[in-house]
A and B are shown apart, each in its own frame.
Chain A
Amino acid sequence: MAEIKIDRELDLKGEVCPFTFVKSKLIIEQMEPGQVLKVILDYKPSVENVPKSMREEGQEVLEVKQTGENLWEVLIRKVK
């Protein structure tokens, strides 16, 4: 699979709900359709619910990947 180009990165380590989604959404709003945001999370409930909420908002979740014992990356493509 071709490497996905990341346009913005948001490090949300130490943040919990609902700030993980709110801060991700604020960055998405500043981006152009088609661009990709990488969100770094260390809080499991947010790993379940940030992608879920982003899909509800009409954005495309490309990948949810565990990168460490308590660390995850979520890739989101802005659709609208």
Chain B
Amino acid sequence: MNLLIVLASNPYSHDFNTAVKLATAALERNHRLKIFFMGNGIYSILREEIKKLAENGAQIYYCAHNAQQRKIKPEEWAESSSMYGLSKLIAEADKVIMLD
């Protein structure tokens, strides 16, 4: 399955833990996983857990505008994207889980 998780909650929220656990479970079951970070969810991209998910095969995207607003420069393994990019990812995904 092609799964997309959209995270807009800050990394100190229960949503962050939910996202990490769901993502880990999805990768263990060999689903194709993409995670899109936006709003205050952008701060999560700095967390070690997300880097680990990327290393394990999750494709990581972020809203470049929201990152710029928060003066965050994500690492190379995360792909700069936009609301247009998100609309494309949603159309491609079999399931979308929105956490905000």
Chain A interface (Cβ < 8 Å from any Cβ of B): 16-18, 21, 43-46, 48-49, 52-53, 56
Contact = CB atoms under 8 A, between A and B. Distances in A.
B84 A45 contact: no
A16 B64 CA distance: 10
A18 B86 CA distance: 11
Interface in B36-56: none
Q: Taking chain B's interface residues, is the majority helix, strand, or loop, or is none over half, making it mixed?
A: helix
Interface of B: 63-65, 67-68, 80-85, 88
A61 to B, nearest CB: 14
A14 to B, nearest CB: 14
B76 to A, nearest CB: 13
Nearest to A53: B84
B65 A45 contact: yes
A45 B88 contact: no
B63 to A, nearest CB: 8
